[in-house]
Amino acid sequence: MSQTDVAAAFAALEAHRVEIGHRRIVDLFAEDHTRFDRYQVRLDDLLFDYSKHRINDATLAHLMTLARAADLEGKRDDLFSGAKINTTEDRAVLHMALRNMSGRGYFVDDQPVMPDILAERRKVNDFASAIREGAIVGATGSYFTDVVNIGIGGSDLGPAMAAKALSTFGVSGIRVHFVSNVDGADLTDTLAMLDPAQTLFIISSKTFTTQETMTNAHSARRFVAAALGEEAVSDHFAAVSTRLDLVEQFGIKPDRVFGFWDWVGGRYSIWSSIGLALTIAIGPKHFEDFLRGAYEVDQHFEQTPLHENIPVLMGLLGVWYRNVWGFGSHAVIPYDQRLSRFPAYLQQLDMESNGKSVMRDGSPVMRATAPVIWGEPGTNGQHAFFQMLHQGTDVIPVDFLVAARPTVADEYHHTLLVSNCLAQSEALMRGRSREEVETLLRAQGMSEARIAELAPHKVFEGNRPSSTFLYRQLTPNMLGRLVALYEHKVFVQSAIWNINAFDQWGVELGKELCGRLVPIVNDARVSTAQLDDSTAGLIQHRRALLAG
C-alpha cells in the first residue's frame, strides 16, 4: 500500500464528485432502466439494494481503485490469517473463528485455536441446555425462571440486542435480562421483578475487574445472600471470564466459568461464551444458526470479488460520503421493533472501532474517520427525526432493514410496515420540487399569494441516498448475517483509512480519572484542591446539595 496511491485515488474521487455532483438519483434511474438490477447484490434470500445512491459506474470504478490502493485485499488476507493486525495490543483478530462451521483451521502464534473454540462451545451449549431443561436448579431446588447477564460494552450490547431481536425463538418459562449501567436504578429495577430462588446471574467480564460490572455483580451477590444465605451464592452465579482466581474468590464454581481469548475484542465477542445468556434464551440449535449466518457472510467477504462484495460496497459507499461529500453521520433504520437495539449495537461496533485520529504507524489520519452512527426503528422515527432526514440542512445517508414477512406478528401490520419503509426510501430519493408543490396547492384551490407563502415549506430537496436490506424473515441465521456484514464493513473502512479498528484506548482516560475521583466524591472531607476549577466546583455543589 502506498499513501501516495491512496491520495491519488481520493483526488480522482474528488474530481469525479464535481463531475456528477449536479446529477440527481432519479435522473440516473430515468436514464438506465436496468439500474436496480445492476446495483444490487444477493446473498441467498438477502438482497442489498444500493441503487439509490449518488453513484454511477465511474464512481464504482474509482472506489475499487481506492480499495486496491489501500491494499484492502491484502489486509483482508491478514485478518483471516491470524496475523497480529491489532498492533497496539500485539494481538490477532479472529472472531471469525468463533463461528467457523467448516474444517478450516485457524492459528494464533502457529497454534491451532479451533479445538479450544469447539470445546468451549460444547461447554456453553451443555450448560445452556441444562438450565433450559431444569437439570441445573437453584439452591432451593427451584427451576430458574430468570437469567440476568451483568456486563457492559461488548459484554452487554451484543447479547442484549440479539436476545431482543430473537425473542420469539426463546423458550417459555425463562426470561433473560441485561444489566450494564452502574446507575443503581438499572439493577434495582431488574431485581424488583425477580425471585432470588429462581434467578441465575451471569457475570460477563474478561478481567473480572470492570468497575461497572463488578459493582453490579457484588450488589447482585448481596441480593442472593440476603435472601437465601451465603452458601447459596455458588448455585446462582456463573461467569464468563479468564480470571479464574477472582471468580473463585467471588464464590462461583469452576464448572460454571466460561472463557474466551485475548484475540476476541469485546465488541466482537457475541460469538463467544459472552453469548451464554443468548444461548440460554434461544437454545443451542438457534445459536448455532446465528453463528452459521455470520460464517456464511465471512465466506462471502473473503471469497467474493470486491465489486460484488456486500461489506466492501457498504464500506466504500460510507467512505464516499464521509470523505468526498463530507457527510458526518449515518442512520440505521430497522423496520422491525425487535431490532430496536441494533443501532445502539452498531454505535459501539463502528464508532469504538473507527473513532481514531492516528493511523497504524501513529501518524495523524489524513481524512475524517468514523461518522456518527445512530437510528431507531421505523415507523416511530418517521414521527421524530425523519423531518431532519427529509428537509434538514445535513444530508444523512440511511440504511433501511426490513423483512418480507413478519416473525410472529399480524400480516396486515407488516404490510403497512414494509410500505412505510419503501415509501421513505423513495421519498428521500425523489423529494418534491417547487413546481410539484405549487401544482398540488392550486389543485386544492389555494390563492397564488398563499401558494407563494407556503410553497417553500413544502419543498423536499430529495436526492438523499439510502441502501435497503430486504430479506425473507428475521431468523437467528439472518441476524448473524446482518451483524457480520456490519463487522466487515467497519473493517473495510479501517483498511481505507489505515487505522487500527481493534483497540479502544480512548476509553481508558475516563476510567483512570474516575478511579481518582471516587474517594473525593465519596468523602466530603477530602480536599478538591488538586482538581480543575470546574470539577472541583461541581463536587462542592453536590456536597452542598447533599448537606441541605
For range 121-139, the mean pLDDT: 97
Residues 44 and 130 in one domain: no
- The answer to whether residue 427 sits within a structural domain is no
Kind of pairing between the strands at 146-150 and 107-108: unpaired
- What is the tens place of the pLDDT at every residue in 478-492? 999 999 999 999 999
- What is the tens place of the pLDDT at every residue in 65-117? 999 999 999 999 999 999 999 999 999 999 999 999 998 999 999 999 999 99
Residues 353 and 204 in one domain: no
pLDDT score for 374? 98
Residues 371 and 317 in one domain: yes
pLDDT score for 353? 96
- What is the tens place of the pLDDT at every residue in 300-316? 999 999 999 999 999 99
How many domains, the chain? 3
pLDDT score for 533? 97
pLDDT score for 2? 80
- What is the tens place of the pLDDT at every residue in 451-465? 999 999 999 999 999
Residues 235 and 344 in one domain: no
For range 310-334, the mean pLDDT: 98
Angstrom distance (rounded) from CA 60 to CA 16: 11
Angstrom distance (rounded) from CA 505 to CA 498: 17
Tell me the C-alpha to C-alpha distance, in Å, between residue 11 and each of 303, 312, 322, 366: 29, 20, 14, 13
Residues 12 and 150 in one domain: no
| Containing structural domain, residue 26 | 3-69+304-378+397-411+465-503
Residue 180 has pLDDT above 70, yes or no: yes
Say if CB 490 and CB 353 are below 8 A apart.
yes
- ω before 379 within 30° of 0 (cis)? yes
For range 331-335, the mean pLDDT: 98
pLDDT score for 242? 86
Other CB atoms within a 10 A radius of the CB of residue 47 amount to 16
- What is the tens place of the pLDDT at every residue in 485-536? 999 999 999 999 999 999 999 988 888 899 999 999 999 999 999 999 999 9
pLDDT band at 1 (very low <50, low <70, confident <90, very high): low
- What is the tens place of the pLDDT at every residue in 160-176? 999 999 999 987 789 99
- The answer to whether residue 480 sits within a structural domain is yes
Residues 15 and 127 in one domain: no
Tell me which of 287, 314, 333 is where a domain ends: 287
pLDDT score for 122? 97
pLDDT score for 524? 95
- The answer to whether residue 387 sits within a structural domain is no
Residues 168 and 213 in one domain: yes
472: nearest Cα among 537, 404, 533, 399: 404
Residues noted as catalytic: 352, 383, 511
What is the percent of the chain where pLDDT is above 90? 95
The structure's pTM equals 0.96
pLDDT score for 172? 76
Tell me the C-alpha to C-alpha distance, in Å, between residue 18 and each of 11, 35, 60, 337: 11, 22, 15, 40
Residues 165 and 211 in one domain: yes
Average pLDDT across the chain, whole number: 96
Residues 115 and 210 in one domain: yes
Other CB atoms within a 10 A radius of the CB of residue 459 amount to 16
